[in-house]
Structure 1
């Protein structure tokens, strides 16, 4: 057994070291912040040596970026890829599925360098999220889908930040505002009738 295969107590840790490091990082970054998490503590929680950690990641910056990449690589597929919902319903479902504590916002707040790999990934994710909202808005028949996508993305980010600051759930209020925005943006003739619903007239 080589030293690289041993944890801090000399126990063999197997091939799951990388996943344990990522799991511990996500938990610690969420619970106490990126800046508040030291590498020694991270190694202890993941049950790996520092040498093992640096075998898998070049440093903390690399680890932070990988955590963000792993968090939601396909941008809420459980909402945007659903075929049992109308486009309008998918737009509003994003407010039910969106994480109360957005790790992309948290990383951007804690990392001042705009060229940091985590900041770049967070920026790309946020742009991609707004694009998916706009694409769904287009399917719903919205006249200006890009504008609605940006409005809903801003509303979601605001709800996430407010939830974090006040330690409360702001998403129900945000969802109610979103419903008004969506319904005002969809021309009456484009509003889809859910499957199985009878005619209103």
Structure 2
């Protein structure tokens, strides 16, 4: 490899740049927010030039949307795709795997434009997440699966926002409330 094939820090140009950009963006957006992360800082952390960044992404809007797309593309498969848990147990397990919820709420809060690609993706994700809860509630035998799915989605989002603002473990309280909701909506396993 000649010196002209290397970037300013001795890294080979082009190879893995897109992944470095996304990885750096995810970390910086999580640590300091979307609006506080500048493109110069992002390029420095990802070890790419602005030209390289813009070759991979049309702008910050596209990059934010890509970060969200990659965060949880299958909508919590570690919960909803588990075959070792009953549907009732999967509903409650969603409260143990809460990390994927924060970036979507943060993006929606930081980006006021409802047509922004990241806001659209966050909205679509939240709708799909509630639908997965509703489908699981239906599998569990809930009398009104749509209502239970929406209640649990609202509870998860509320716990996520509260935990982010107050830096508390709101999910412990939310899990206790979810247990009451599920117990009231889903017949006990031995009564079926």
TM-score by length of 2: 0.94
Q: Which runs of 5+ in 2 are unaligned?
A: none
Partner residue, 1:144: 144
Structure 1 residues 25 and 4, CA gap change in structure 2 (3 angstroms): farther
Structure 1 residues 100 and 56, CA gap change in structure 2 (3 angstroms): closer
Task: Report the count of equivalent residues.
Answer: 191
**Pairs within 5 Å for 1:145-184:** 145-184=145-184
> Is the 1:43–1:53 contact (alpha carbons within 8 Å) kept by the matching residues of 2?
yes
DSSP-derived class of the 2:85 partner: coil
Q: Deviations over 1:74-127 (max 9, x none)?
A: 000010000000111000000001117610000000001000000000000000
Alignment partner of 1:34 is 2:37:
no
Q: Deviations over 1:153-183 (max 9, x none)?
A: 0000000000011111110110000000001
Alignment partner of 1:102 is 2:102:
yes
Q: Which runs of 5+ in 1 are unaligned?
A: 194-201
Partner residue, 2:60: 60
Q: CA deviation at 1:5?
A: 5.8
Alignment partner of 1:185 is 2:185:
yes
Mapped partners of 1:4, 1:19: distance in 2:
22
Alignment partner of 1:129 is 2:129:
yes
**TM-align CA RMSD:** 2.0
> Is the 1:6–1:48 contact (alpha carbons within 8 Å) kept by the matching residues of 2?
no
TM-score by length of 1: 0.89
Mapped partners of 1:48, 1:163: distance in 2:
34
Q: CA deviation at 1:14?
A: 4.6
